Amino acid sequence: MVTVHDLVEARLYESEDAVIQDALRHLLRARPNLRINLAVHRYQTEEISLAKAAVLAGVSWPQMREILVERGVPLRLGPQTLEEAEQEVQALQDYRRPQP
């Protein structure tokens, strides 16, 4: 069995954290449902915006809204502060950028 330490020792990664981050990134790409479940959880528990949840889930804003409605999650629409509004604009801009 390969360990995180093995990958760092072989100088394939700079640190164990880098290995874990890369592994998580690949896991979430391979299993989109995990991304959606994580986005729903964070929307419910951390009060991230709908736009941020959509970016995290890898879906459009309308799709994320539909997912939340289907799961019975109460929607929080509209920013409460200028900072929240700016964060939503940034999240939407990030979503519209081409993915590598």
Write out pLDDT tens, residues 35-86: 999 999 999 998 788 989 999 999 998 999 999 999 999 998 777 678 888 8
Tokens 């939407």 map to which residue?
92
2: which 2 tokens?
């390969």
Pick 93 or 36 by higher pLDDT: 36
Q: State yes or no: pLDDT of 98 exceeds 80.
A: no
- Sketch the domain layout of the chain as residue ranges: 31-96
CA–CA dist 13, 39 (Å, integer): 28
| CA atoms of 94 and 52, how far apart (whole Å) | 9
Return the pLDDT at 83.
86
What is the Cβ-side half-sphere exposure of residue 77, based on CA atoms within 13 angstroms? Answer: 8
Among the listed residues 45, 43, 59, the one whose alpha carbon sits nearest the alpha carbon of residue 92: 59
Please give the structure tokens belonging to residue 22. Answer: 């890369």
